[in-house]
Each structure stands twice: as structure tokens, then as C-alpha cells.
Structure 1
């Protein structure tokens, strides 16, 4: 789930929780729980915009590292 969130943020930039829920087709509490962990690990940042919070990657290098790791695992599975 966290890899999917990171990938979504890398591809689309800033996203609100409801946008991540729709894109990933998972329940909102699950997305929020994983965002809390990612935020606590300084992978994502949160910025309040009115009643909503926009999430984005702290550093785009994180997206590249995750993409490389996923590609590497995919190569080994085949």
C-alpha cells in the first residue's frame, strides 16, 4: 500500500486523501493510516488547505528509489 501511495504521489504530485482513496480503490482509514506512517518517516509532507490536507513527497528521489526497487523485484520474479 505504501509503495502504491508513493507511486501515486510521484506520478500526480500533490494529492488529497479522497483522491488517493479513489485512485487506489481502498478504504479511507487504510490510506490515512499509511500516510501517517509515511509522514512519520519523513517520506511525505502534509499541508492543510482549508478543511483538507494535501500530501506530497518530501523528496522526488524517494520516487526513483521505489521505482528502481519495484523494477528490480519484477525482473527477479520473471
Structure 2
């Protein structure tokens, strides 16, 4: 893997380093949604959701489809859903499962 690919992957993790963006991605992993749906489900302001969606689009993690005046957002592919899902499963594990190997 070239450094360019490593840098691109690091940029994805940088984008994923925001709890609100993770929540948006987790929501979109279940089904496509409009901005208003995300606002309602996540209790975030419309400007905040729109800004996070711009960042996620720029990172090529979400796509959108326009239906008249309505825009529907969805994950670009399931790879990101797996990363987010695995991270959430990891933090949900019992704390002692993480401390079993203290040599790290």
C-alpha cells in the first residue's frame, strides 16, 4: 500500500473522529435519510447536520440523491458501516475484556 493510500485512510479516521458524524453514519447505515430525519433522530440542529454531511460527502463516505426539492443521504458503501459498527461494539464490551492484555 502506498503512502497516498495510508494518508487517504488516515483522513477517513480523522473524519470519523467526531461523535456527531459517527451518529449520522450509524443512522444512515440503517436506512437512507433526509436532513430533517437526521435532525429529529439525533437531536442536532439542522445547520450542524448539514455541516457534518458536507464533511462526510467531501470524504466520500456518503452520497445523496435528489428527489425534487428533497435530498436523501445514504452511505456510499458498507465498509464505513462496518468500521463504525465495530467501533461501537468495541466500546460496548465489558471493560475487563480490554484489560486482559496489559503488555501493550
User: Structure with the greater relative contact order (CA < 8 A, sep ≥ 6): 1 or 2?
Assistant: 1
Show structure 1 runs of 4+ deviating over 6 A. Answer: none
Structure number having the greater strand percentage: 1
TM score, norm. by length of structure 2: 0.68
Question: Which residue number in structure 2 is paired with residue 25 of structure 1?
Answer: 43
Question: Which residue number in structure 2 is paired with residue 9 of structure 1?
Answer: 28
In structure 2, list runs of 5 or more residues that go unmatched: 1-19, 97-104
Give the 3-state SS of the residue equivalent to 1:15 in structure 2: coil
Over the aligned positions, Cα root-mean-square deviation in angstroms equals 1.5
> Greater CA radius of gyration, 1 or 2?
2
